[in-house]
Amino acid sequence: MLSVKQKEKIPQLILGGMTLKAIASMYHCTYQEAWNAFVEHLSFISLDQHLDLNQYEIDSYIKFLTQLN
C-alpha cells in the first residue's frame, strides 16, 4: 500500500523520466497501484509546465506516454 507522500510524489517522478514499472519496483507496489496514484494526482500537475511544447511538442508527448507504458 502506498503512503500519501508516495502517491503525491509519483506524478513528479514520471514527469522526471521514471517509468511506472520502475516506480512500482521502488515503492514495492503493483503497476496498477502506481498508475492509480498517478491518475489520482494528475489534476494537481500541469503537463504544459513540464513539457516544452514549443520545441519538442510531438517528441515530448511520445516520451511522456512511453514512460507510462
Model confidence pLDDT, tens digit, residues 44-69 = 555 555 555 555 566 666 677 677 76
Q: What is the largest CA-CA distance in the chain?
A: 39
Give the span between the Cα atoms of 52 and 54, in whole angstroms.
6
Rg for the chain, CA atoms, rounded: 12
Q: Whose CA is closest to 69, among 29, 38, 26, 47?
A: 38
Write out pLDDT tens, residues 31-46. 999 988 888 877 655 5
